[in-house]
């Protein structure tokens, strides 16, 4: 695993965007796995800037988002559909048919949707470059502690800590959905290349355990130690040894 420690969040965002931009320039038909949350916001902003300022062309790129809440319609203000359109898709001209986000709308058959999503990834030839954040409890996508490293796309219960962290985006924590649909750790590990992003001191313990601790299903992000092409980009606050580094 390559670990890049950047001085600040802005540099982290620019480096992540540059890695994606280089990959898209090299392979215009790239298939990306994309995260949501606060960490990738700067990266999306920078990619949008590269699209408009440097003619970075996303028109042949395919995307698969990593997760979505269950029980929110796609147009709900807090759905990950809304997040992605607001921060990225509405600005970079990716054809709608290239965009994939798990459907967590009320009434959805989550088993069927999970199978459909895995098939769509396979039909696209797998994910070339998957970008993922890390939760303060070590989750990747919504694979909470205890998730099998062989897990595939499925419905999951969100951990209390995950719902508490998401509470800031909702009127109250009670409104945070209790369940989500997420790609599995097995799905993530099949990606050809993985970019892990972590920012802020609230992530440093999880990052230390994920990168340096034992590989254990109690720490989902530690599964990445078993992948041959992972780059972790951390800002100084999230780096495990920030006093010495
Ligand atoms: P965050 O979430 O980027 O909002 O910190 C990351 C995650 O929970 O995976």
Q: Catalytic residue among 46, 51, 65, 67, which? A: 67
What is the pLDDT at residue 74? 97
Q: Are 144 and 177 in contact (CB under 8 A)?
A: no
Ligand 1 interacting residues, C-beta cut-off 6 A: 37-39, 133-135, 139
**Calpha distance 173→58 (Å, rounded):** 36
**Calpha distance 135→96 (Å, rounded):** 29
Distance 199 CA to ligand 1 centre (A): 9
Known catalytic membership, residue 205? no
Distance 234 CA to ligand 1 centre (A): 13
Q: Is the pLDDT of residue 1 over 60?
A: yes
**HEC string for 131-181:** EECCCCCCCECCECCCCCCCCCCEEEECCHHHHHHHHHHCCCHHHCCCEEE
Burial bucket for residue 219 (CB in 10 Å: 0-12, 13-18, 19+): buried
What is the pLDDT at residue 213? 95
What is the pLDDT at residue 245? 46
Known catalytic membership, residue 90? no
Q: Is the pLDDT of residue 241 over 90?
A: no
Quick: pLDDT tens for 151-187: 999 999 999 999 999 999 999 999 999 999 999 999 9
What is the pLDDT at residue 240? 87
What is the pLDDT at residue 243? 52
Distance 243 CA to ligand 1 centre (A): 24
Burial bucket for residue 72 (CB in 10 Å: 0-12, 13-18, 19+): buried
Quick: pLDDT tens for 93-141: 999 999 999 999 999 999 999 999 999 999 999 999 999 999 999 999 9
**Calpha distance 219→209 (Å, rounded):** 7
Quick: pLDDT tens for 187-218: 999 999 999 999 999 999 999 999 999 999 99
Quick: pLDDT tens for 8-53: 999 999 999 999 999 999 999 999 999 999 999 999 999 999 999 9
Q: Catalytic residue among 81, 113, 137, 143, which? A: 137
Total residues belonging to the chain: 245
């Amino acid at each position: 695993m390559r670990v890049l420690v950047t001085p600040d969040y802005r540099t982290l965002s620019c480096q992540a965007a540059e890695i994606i931009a280089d990959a898209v320039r090299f392979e215009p038909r790239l298939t990306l796995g994309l995260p949501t949350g606060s960490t990738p916001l700067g990266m999306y902003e920078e990619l949008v800037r590269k699209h408009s300022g440097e003619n970075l062309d996303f028109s042949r790129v395919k995307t698969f988002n990593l997760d979505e809440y269950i029980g929110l319609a796609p147009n709900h203000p807090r759905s990950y559909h809304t997040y992605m359109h607001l921060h990225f898709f509405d600005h970079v001209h990716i054809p709608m048919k290239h965009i994939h986000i798990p459907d967590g709308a009320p009434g959805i058959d989550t088993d069927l949707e999970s199978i459909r999503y895995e098939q769509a990834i396979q039909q696209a030839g797998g994910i070339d470059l998957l970008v993922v954040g890390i939760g303060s409890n070590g989750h990747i996508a919504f694979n909470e502690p205890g998730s099998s490293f062989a897990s595939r796309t499925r419905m999951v219960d969100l951990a209390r800590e995950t719902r508490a962290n998401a509470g800031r985006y909702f009127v109250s924590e009670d409104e945070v959905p209790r369940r989500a649909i997420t790609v599995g750790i097995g799905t993530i590990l099949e990606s050809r290349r993985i970019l892990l992003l972590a920012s802020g001191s609230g992530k440093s313990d999880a990052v230390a355990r994920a990168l340096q601790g034992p590989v254990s299903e109690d720490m989902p992000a530690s599964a990445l130690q078993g992948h041959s092409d992972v780059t972790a980009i951390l800002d100084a606050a999230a780096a495990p040894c920030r006093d010495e580094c």
